Structure 1
Amino acid sequence: MRVLLFGATGMVGQGVLRECLLDGEVAFVQTVGRTATGVAQPKLRELLHPDLWHYGAIEGDLTGFDACFFCLGTSSAGKGEAEYTRITYDLAMAAAQTLVRLNPHMTFVYVSGVGADSSEQGRVMWARVRGRLENALMRLPFRGVYIFRPGAIQPLHGIESKTKSYRLLYRLLGPVLPLLRRAFPGRITTTERIGRAMLRVARYGADRQILESRDLETLAV
């Protein structure tokens, strides 16, 4: 399997990259992003691309992939709806619309978030934008489109968030997160299990397109 990975330097993306590189059935991984991951591995290629809204100049490097794992995301804190739409909806759709034209047989997996509003009508801005994006992605004619909605995520294997406040929060909660995972099964997942769940749906699909945290735990066998 040949995998295209967006957001490989983020917390979730780091975990997904790790699982892809460890998986013997993944022959090739190409990351796309503004910054390098710093990972050196024979089956990894990093494609640095500063403009994530336009792909015309690199289309030749975006063909021949079986799966795309789209892990780019940002917090809505301090952002108005127009700005958040541009860096969430517009950015993801620019990539997805290019890829569906170049790789129509690809499976596309998008990391959204718990609470995204599929009705697109709710009062919470970020949830409306995410819900609108989810709906638009699921209308694209890929072989398969799957939306991951993880809740709390435990970073493993030395992975850290790029956001300073999140790093502090995870450090404070680090000792208790494993206990909380056992106490509330299906509510908290890990970077490792998200990566494994992505690989599973890329290979075998799933019985629904929108997959909540509990579904991800089940898939990550």
Structure 2
Amino acid sequence: MATKNRVIITGTTGMVGEGVLIQCLKSSAIDHILVINRKPCGYTHPKLKEIIHSDFFDFSPLEEQLKGYNACFFCLGISSVGVEEEIYYKMTYTLTLHVAKTLSRLNDDMTFCYISGSGTGEKSRLKWAQIKGKTEKDLTKLPFLQVFNFRPGFIKPIKGSKYTHKFYKYIGWLFPIGRAIYSKGFCTMEELANAMINTLNHHDERRILEGNDIIAMANED
């Protein structure tokens, strides 16, 4: 019998989270989706449930509703631009690890997919990259079935998405050029989302997926 994939998605009021949600709604591999947001995402579907919750540092009121899922696609995050290091650390590392620890305690066969970013690494000279690198490393220590850290570069959004960053309409023309010259740094939102869905066909892995790895995972049968 095929596995019934029940997925939690965070960040669906952002471009990446929305794109992952759209693809999961389309995918026959996903049976049920729970999204957790601070405000409504604006989508309805028979296999979609939404919880509005303001405090992502305290999931205790939600715990019973978070049981019985075998994947989390964690797409929540903030830009480091103009943000103090202390705030960025709290919203990137502390928040992510709090959610992840809660979910790993409640679901013993869960795959956790984390959207990090190209250039991430604790040895980087950039503070945001160091913080993301620490987040990746410590996620792999949690008792999930498997952990995949995704490091996309330029992402081509899904046409018609509600939460696409406005600047993409000015720079979208760069995508085919960049993809041809440097494929590692350019993927489509569909590829990123499908790669996350395809991690559910794997077992007991802890991996970092750079751009070309994302494209390859997306194209797995």
What TM-score, normalized to structure 1?
A: 0.92
**Structure-2 residue corresponding to 1:116:** 120
How has the CA–CA distance of structure 1 residues 151 and 60 changed in structure 2, closer, same or farther, with 3 Å as cutoff?
same
Q: Does 1:17 align with 2:15?
A: no
- 2 CA distance for matches of 1:179 and 1:212? 19
Partner of 1:186: 184
Partner of 1:209: 207
Aligned CA distance change for structure 1 residues 161 and 42 (closer, same or farther; 3 Å):
closer
TM superposition shift of 1:156: 1.6
Question: What SS is found at the alignment partner of 2:184?
Answer: coil
* Per-residue CA distance 1:110-133 (angstroms, 9 max, x = gap): 0001111134xx431101111111
- Residue in 2 aligned with 1:176? 174
Q: Which amino acid aligns with 1:144?
A: Q
> How much identity, in percent, do the aligned residues show?
39
Deviations 1:82-104 (A, max 9, x none): 11111111110110000000002
- The alpha-carbon distance between structure 1 residues 37 and 80, as it changes in their structure 2 partners (threshold 3 A), is same
CA offsets 1:60-100 (integer angstroms, 9 cap, x no match): 11000010000001111111211111111111011000000
Structure 1 residues 208 and 141: CA distance shift in structure 2, 3 A: closer
Q: Distance in 1 between matches of 2:10 and 2:104?
A: 15
Normalising by structure 2, what TM-score? 0.92
Quick check: 1:118–1:134 contact (8 Å CA) kept in 2?
A: no
Once residues 182 and 32 of structure 1 are traced to their aligned partners in structure 2, the CA distance between those partners, rounded to angstroms, is 37
**1:218 equivalent in structure 2:** 216
User: What secondary structure, in the 3-state scheme, does the structure 2 residue paired with 1:118 have?
Assistant: coil
Match of 1:129 in 2: 131
CA distance in 2, matches of 1:132, 1:28: 31
Q: Tell whether the 8 Å contact from 1:109 to 1:145 is kept in structure 2 after alignment.
A: yes
CA distance in 2 between partners of 1:173 and 1:88 (Å) = 26
Q: Which residue pairs with 1:7 in the alignment?
A: 11
SS at match of 1:219: helix
1:147-181 deviation line (CA, Å, top 9, x unaligned): 0000111102312546xxx412x111123323432
- The total of aligned residue pairs comes to 215
Unpaired segments of 5 or more residues in structure 1? none
